[in-house]
């Protein structure tokens, strides 16, 4: 599920293929940070949008595999910037 909280996009729980559109529109509308701490499953379509968006990502995600193998590819978000 994808939600938006001001300039933050939240990835929550399972983000299936349909969420890619929402994610893309949120990114398109302007966002500062993507927060995937609540993310358990991320579909490849959503991953594509994340990779293309090049936004800082706040983590680590709940899914350890995502944290281990994908987190290194994102710019980590540091809390002090808020």
Partner 1 sequence: MNDDLLEQFITEGRELLAEAVEDLLALERAPDDKERINRLFRSIHTVKGSSGLFDLPPITRLLHAGEDMFQAVRERGLKLTPDMVDASLAAVDLVTRWIDELERTEILPADAGALATGLAARLRTYFDNPATAAPAGIARAGVAPSGVAPSGAAPAGVAAASANAPVPSETPQLDRWFSAATLAQLARSGEKFHLIVYQPSESCFFKGEDPLHLALQTPNLAALAWAWRNPCAPLSELDPYQCNLDFFLLSSATPEALAANFRYAAQDVTFLPLPPGSFSAAAPVALPDITRDLLQFCTDMLAHDAPPAEQPGRFAAARRVAANALRAAGLTEAAVQLAEADSPDTCRQSIAVLLATGAAARPAIGSAAESAATGIDTPAEPAAEALHEAPNVRKVLRVDKEKFDVLMNLIGELVVAKNSLPFLAKRADEQYGARALAREIKDEYGVIDRIAQELQGAVMAVSMMPVGQVFGRFPRLVRDLARKLGKQVDLVITGEDTEADKNVIETLFDPLLHMVRNSLDHGIEPPDERVACGKRPSATLTLAARQDGDQAVIEIIDDGRGIDPAMIKRKAYERGLIDETRLATISDQDAAMLIFAAGFSTAETISDVSGRGVGMDVVRAAVEKAGGAITLSSVKHQGTTLRLSLPLSMAVTRVMTVLVEGRLFGIPMDLVLETVKLPAHSITRIKNAKAFLLRDQIIPLRHLNRLLHLPDPQQTPAEIAVLVVRTGGQLLGLGISAFGEVMEVILKPMDGVLARIAGYSGTCLLGDGKVLLVLDLKELIA
Min dist. Cβ of residue 72 to partner 1 (A): 8
Only one of the segments 5-13, 19-27, 32-40, 74-82 lies at the binding site for partner 1 (rule: CB under 8 A); that segment is 19-27
The Cα 82–Cα 72 span in angstroms is 22
User: Which residues in 52-67 are b (16+ Cβ under 10 Å) and which e?
Assistant: ebebbbbbebbbeebb
* DSSP bridge partners of 22: none
Min dist. Cβ of residue 49 to partner 1 (A): 5
The Cα 78–Cα 82 span in angstroms is 8
**52 sits near partner 1 (criterion: CB under 8 A):** yes
Q: Which of 3, 7, 32, 69 binds partner 1 (CB under 8 A)?
A: 69
Binding site for partner 1 (CB under 8 A): 17, 20-21, 23-24, 27-28, 41-49, 51-53, 65-66, 69-70, 73
């Amino acid at each position: 599920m994808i939600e938006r909280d001001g300039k933050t996009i939240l990835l929550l729980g399972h983000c299936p293929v349909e969420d890619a559109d929402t994610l893309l529109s949120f990114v398109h509308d302007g966002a500062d940070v993507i927060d995937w701490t609540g993310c358990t499953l991320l579909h490849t379509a959503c991953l594509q949008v994340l990779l293309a968006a090049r936004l800082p990502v706040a983590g680590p995600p709940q899914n350890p595999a995502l944290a281990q193998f994908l987190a290194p590819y994102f710019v980590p978000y540091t809390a002090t910037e808020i």
